[in-house]
Structure 1
Amino acid sequence: MIAAADWTAWTCAVRVAVTDSTALDAARAEVTAVMAEVDRAASRFRADSELAAVEASDGSFTRIGPLLTDLLAAALRAARLTDGDVDPTVGGSLCGLGYDRDLAEVSLDGGLAVRPAPGWRTIELDVSRHRVRVPAGTHLDLGATAKAQAADLAARAAARTTGAGCLVAIGGDVSVAGPAPAGGWRIRVEDVTGDPSGPPVGPWTVVTVREGGLATSSVHARRWKRGGMQLHHVVDPRTGLPPVSTWRTVSVAAASCTDANIASTAALVRQASAVPWLRARGLPARLVRADGALLTLGGWPAEERAA
């Protein structure tokens, strides 16, 4: 019997589901522990995080733990795979737009300081020696990869500990591990991530996932208004501003949630050119245009329902 638990963390809805109801408490404990470890390592909102220590090092090499090493390696891999569309050096850009603290605490007063990202090639990561050098004054944001990577790590940890099939969803990032339930994990995909037990908002469909991950990125999530502009958390590194994207929502399935989120975020930045880019990689994807028109690629199932 599938059992699930829901709570809120990182200003996101979090869900863990397991194929054995007796494993739920242990699975939730694993998810909570992994998210706490990722937060201590990579939060840009904590003065005591490892990431904060790296940024305070004035451009010298800083020793870091294995987890932050892996998180930074994934962020730099994302930048390479997307030709810089997904860039971890956008932290300063987001701060300039006012997103310098947890979203619920972002000030709506004040102006904007538009800051293009310094560029991911300025980061020197020594994986074997667990150290990194970031230019002085550069601020990092690993949001395009770390949340999805946390879902992957948590799902694997929960499955390993319990022996059950596990699904972990953090916001729009979903990862599954262990033996899937009969027929696979059924996941509702829509524009706005909300309570899965509540009514859907706008067009939606249900997909089945047996392994890997699924990620949804949207310009309708994590929004705020400042300097007379409506802003969101996806930033074009080249301009330092949120793109006026062709798409309002992009969902992608891949071998991991991390890879899925890299692709869905890059698609918002790439706009119309995301279509041939996703097709070339054979990734199943669902793209929703600003006017609500749907486009599916790579074997994504046809839309079944509308609210």
Structure 2
Amino acid sequence: MSELLFRAMGTDFHLHVDADGASARRALAGARDEIDRLESVCSRFRPTSDLSRLNGLRRARVSRDLMAVIQLAIGLRELTEGWFDPAVGAAVLAAGYDRPFDEFPAIVEADDRGTAAGTLSVEPDGEVSLGPGTMLDLGGIAKGYAADVACGLLDRIGPAVVSAGGDIVASRPPISGGPWPVGISTPDGERIVHLNRGAIATSGVDRRRWRTTTGEAHHVVDPTTGHPSATDLLRVTVAAGTGAEADALATALLAAGAERGRDLADRLGIAAIFVTRAGTTTPMGVLA
């Protein structure tokens, strides 16, 4: 088993591939390069990124990678009835999230008026169009997408698992047999989930929080209000076929809140673990 640990996209990536030697080292280095490249495409903190260019131009033909992420995001917005929405960039910015989280000052300037989700469409000519005042924020899907891509590259030489800030993507079981064990923290203690392939992602409001000039904020926006979500959930963990899906679905269920989130998960057949601010844990689907 070979591994590589590094920081990208504002979090820690830990790559594992069930192979050894020079080929494993090359594969790990190549997967890291791909994650770094995708960050240069999808980051809203880099003024030269493809995403920043689109946010500035409002309508543009974008790279293949950015188009792939945007189309996934649009599909997941529709699937979740708008609870996951990449067009909340202006609201995230208004909440004070205008730089990488590890660069935040003690108190952040924020605008508490809120900014509702904007409009986003892919035009027939292949260009991406943003409505007036719309900014895209792909923070709820890009990390999972990058983990998917990296895991696929590593799988060319052996079974692989990628951890992106604790969100897990697995290509297939290790050669030794049996699934990959994944720990999920709950108020009742750590749950161990056995993952053969696919992804598990967690979204929460208990970590990326900050003090602002008007109170306190976090990074999960309610698309219906344009404010940081007043959700009664602390965190949500989702199992899905891909990291991008798990990432976005966890964000959607968290923003929707316990009652609406559980109803949405039930209707869509989403496997999830809901942890409320009151400390109750509700598992659903294969995570039950």
**TM-score, normalised on structure 2?**
0.91
Distance 1:174 1:227 in 2: 35
Partner of 2:142: 146
Partner of 1:9: 8
CA offsets, 1:244-289, max 9 Å, x none? Answer: 2221111111111111122211111111211122122222211111
Distance 1:94 1:263 in 2: 18
Distance 2:277 2:27 in 1: 38
Pick from 109, 131, 137: which aligns with 1:135?
A: 131
The count of corresponding residues between Structure 1 and Structure 2 is 284
Q: Is the 8 A contact 1:156 1:178 kept in 2?
A: no
Structural mapping, 1:1-307, within 5 Å: 2-22=1-21, 24-57=24-57, 59=58, 61-107=59-105, 108-119=107-118, 122-126=119-123, 130-160=126-156, 163-181=157-175, 182-190=177-185, 203-271=189-257, 272-301=259-288
Q: Is the 8 A contact 1:17 1:24 kept in 2?
A: no
> SS state of the match for residue 234, structure 1?
coil
**TM-score, normalised on structure 1?**
0.86
Q: Is the 8 A contact 1:188 1:205 kept in 2?
A: yes
Q: Is the 8 A contact 2:238 2:250 kept in 1?
A: yes
Distance 1:63 1:34 in 2: 22
Q: Give unmatched runs, 5+ long, in structure 1.
A: 192-200, 302-307
Distance 1:105 1:146 in 2: 20
Q: Is the 8 A contact 2:82 2:223 kept in 1?
A: yes
Q: Is the 8 A contact 2:91 2:117 kept in 1?
A: no
2:189 partner amino acid: P
Percent of aligned positions that are identical = 28
1:24: how far off?
4.0
Distance 1:224 1:109 in 2: 7
Distance 1:202 1:224 in 2: 27
> SS state of the match for residue 295, structure 1?
strand
Q: Is the 8 A contact 1:180 1:211 kept in 2?
A: no
CA offsets, 1:122-147, max 9 Å, x none? Answer: 22214x85421223532110111111
RMSD in angstroms over aligned alpha carbons? Answer: 2.0
> SS state of the match for residue 156, structure 1?
helix
Question: In structure 2, do the counterparts of structure 1 residues 292 and 41 end up closer, same or farther at CA, with 3 Å as the change threshold?
Answer: same
